[in-house]
Amino acid sequence: MVNEKKQGKPTVEELLAKAKKPALIAPSMHQFYEGKVQVMPKCAIRSIDDFAIWYTPGVAAACKEIQAKPEKAFELTNRWNYVAVVTDGTRVLGLGDIGPEAAMPVMEGKALLFKYLGGVDAFPICLKTKDPDEIVRACELLEPSFGGINLEDIEKPKCFHVLEKARERLQIPVWHDDQQGTATVILAGLINAFKIVGKKPQECLITLVGSGAANIRTAYVLIRWGVKAGNIIMVDTRGIVHAGRTDITREEDPWKYELAQKTNAEGRTGDLAESFKGVDAVVAASKPGPDTIKKAWIKTMADDAIVFACANPIPEIWPWEAEEAGARIVATGRSDFPNQVNNSLGFPAIFRGVLDVKARTVTDDMCIAAAQELAKFAEERGMDERNILPRMDEWEVFPREAVACALKSIEQGVARVKLSRQELYQRASTIIQNAREATELLMKHGLIKKAPPEDKLLK
């Protein structure tokens, strides 16, 4: 501990205390505000007489237009900007199966990020069922009210089934952030990390530590982007995933089974330590550390190694320990370390883009377009080993990312409307700025109450 202090590094005790602080404050803050999102009017109310336009009798004329042409719901209502954040509460953050009621604070938080970062009106939908087909059916029943569905915190492998079936049956974008969102930001970070170390991703070995929803979708997105499937090595709690594993079956987990057949071309076997040997990059989305990943393992990696230790609240290995072991670039899921891999860089802008063109679906190619724009933004504003990704406070990245997704939607023929790059950028910028400025205005005028001092919340 003394050595850490001399080198200007926080002690483990200080880091743990910092990691625990938000949890100590959160219950009091949630109780103080009684939730995090609300519904506000967006139309002018000049007098009570305007209700004759917005409600009966005038509203009937709008209803008749939609009855004649259902697609007009995207023009005459706010459906074009509504997203349902749907969960069954079976895999919430690091808490696991806590149920739909307990999942509500997380879904509200997701809705808050949607609005502030992407200008998207999102609603928490916590379902009292664990049946995957019932979840899909619920999404179908909700479709007339929403422009998109964000699946959240649904356990594996059920989450793959729900995503696949809902995408087949619905004519609006369906997205699972734990899969596609994580994969998008990981890809963005890897694009720039490989640029900095001067390696070609197509020729590199990449180990994915953890074979949950995040890394399984990351594998598919990396392959779609151009990484050779055989150059990816996946690891789960039983060791390296390979074609000879009899415990991975098509019936129980078809997505993991498929990857077991196409990844790991060299047929590597063994434990987690074996998966590090000679690889160029490791992406971990597994058990929180510290010491889930050992320094000794990183020392066996190739030169100029890349390590993404994404577990929260404690990464699988402390960043400085990974660097001391030889890693040239290290990323984590935390904002107080360099290179935060944060889903919030992805989903608000991706939905902004697909909603603005009223897309019928969201594809992995759109995730790749978003990742490339994130990487490009960081490269253009300047990047180095400790600064490979945009930060959440760099709001200018969100309209750019939205445009990239919208243009990909148009290119793939799934957009209901076609706008130019400039029109899309202006639209996204305006909507996102309005959301941020509206929040600031409500705070300024006391319509959002001022938060109590932290010392009172900690009592």
Q: Tell me if residue 42 is catalytic.
A: no
Same domain, 369 and 410: yes
Task: Provide mean pLDDT across the span 373-401.
Answer: 97
Task: Provide mean pLDDT across the span 435-449.
Answer: 95
Answer whether residue 415 shows pLDDT above 50: yes
Domain of residue 74, CATH code: 3.40.50.10380
Task: Provide mean pLDDT across the span 100-108.
Answer: 97
The Cα 279–Cα 234 span in angstroms is: 12
Domain of residue 271, CATH code: 3.40.50.720
Measured at the CA of 286, the angle between CA 283 and CA 290, to 5 degrees, comes to 95
Answer whether residue 337 shows pLDDT above 80: yes
Band of the pLDDT at 1, cuts 50, 70, 90? very low
Same domain, 69 and 143: yes
Structural domain ending residue among the three candidates 310, 332, 354: 332
The Cα 148–Cα 412 span in angstroms is: 17
Taking 3-state DSSP, the helix, strand and coil percentages for the chain, each rounded to the nearest 5, stand at: 50, 10, 35
Tell me the percentage of the chain whose pLDDT exceeds 90.
88
Specify the number of domains making up the chain: 3
Give 129-161 pLDDT, tens digit per residue. Answer: 999 999 999 999 999 999 999 999 999 899 999
The Cα 431–Cα 417 span in angstroms is: 17
Same domain, 138 and 74: yes
Question: Is there a cis peptide before residue 452, judged by omega within 30 degrees of 0?
Answer: no
| pLDDT score at 6 | 43
| pLDDT score at 10 | 72
Strand 148-151 relative to strand 174-176, pairing: parallel
Q: In 3D, which of 266, 190, 185, 271 has the Cα closest to residue 230?
A: 266
311: exposed, middle or buried (Cβ count in 10 Å: 0-12, 13-18, 19+): buried
Rounded to a whole number of angstroms, the distance between the first and last alpha carbons of the chain is: 29
Task: Provide mean pLDDT across the span 352-361.
Answer: 97
The Cα 295–Cα 337 span in angstroms is: 18
Q: Please report whether residue 19 resides in a domain.
A: no
Answer whether residue 94 shows pLDDT above 80: no
Structural domain ending residue among the three candidates 270, 302, 332: 332
Q: In 3D, which of 98, 164, 152 has the Cα closest to residue 124?
A: 152
Please provide the DSSP assignment of 122-181 as one string: EEEEE-S---HHHHHHHHHHHGGG-SEEEE-S--TTHHHHHHHHHHHH-SS-EEEIIIII
Answer whether residue 388 shows pLDDT above 70: yes
Same domain, 324 and 212: yes
Band of the pLDDT at 7, cuts 50, 70, 90? low
Give 389-412 pLDDT, tens digit per residue. Answer: 999 999 999 999 999 999 999 999
Task: Provide mean pLDDT across the span 334-347.
Answer: 93
Structure tokens at 42: 């967006």
Q: Tell me if residue 82 is catalytic.
A: no
Band of the pLDDT at 16, cuts 50, 70, 90? confident
Band of the pLDDT at 87, cuts 50, 70, 90? very high
Same domain, 144 and 192: no
Structural domain ending residue among the three candidates 133, 148, 172: 172
> Using the 8-state DSSP alphabet, how is residue 358 labeled?
T
Answer whether residue 328 shows pLDDT above 70: yes
- Catalytic option among 55, 64, 299, 456: 55
420: exposed, middle or buried (Cβ count in 10 Å: 0-12, 13-18, 19+): exposed
Answer whether residue 163 shows pLDDT above 50: yes
| pLDDT score at 458 | 77
- The residues near 431 (Cβ < 8 Å, ≥ 6 apart) are 81, 119, 352, 356
Task: Provide mean pLDDT across the span 18-23.
Answer: 82
- The residues near 352 (Cβ < 8 Å, ≥ 6 apart) are 118, 119, 120, 398, 399, 401, 402, 405, 428, 431, 432
Give 234-254 pLDDT, tens digit per residue. Answer: 999 999 999 999 999 999 999
Range of the domain at 409: 345-444
Task: Mark 140-177 as b/e (b = at least 16 C-beta within 10 Å).
Answer: eebbeebbbbbbbbbbbbbbbbbbbbbbeebebbbbbb
| pLDDT score at 8 | 59
Same domain, 371 and 307: no
| pLDDT score at 3 | 44
| pLDDT score at 459 | 66
Band of the pLDDT at 5, cuts 50, 70, 90? very low
Output 191 or 313, whichever has higher pLDDT. Answer: 191
Answer whether residue 195 shows pLDDT above 70: yes
| Contact indicator for 189, 331 with CB cutoff of 8 Å | yes
Same domain, 188 and 162: no
What is the model's pTM?
A: 0.93
Task: Provide mean pLDDT across the span 77-97.
Answer: 95
Band of the pLDDT at 349, cuts 50, 70, 90? very high
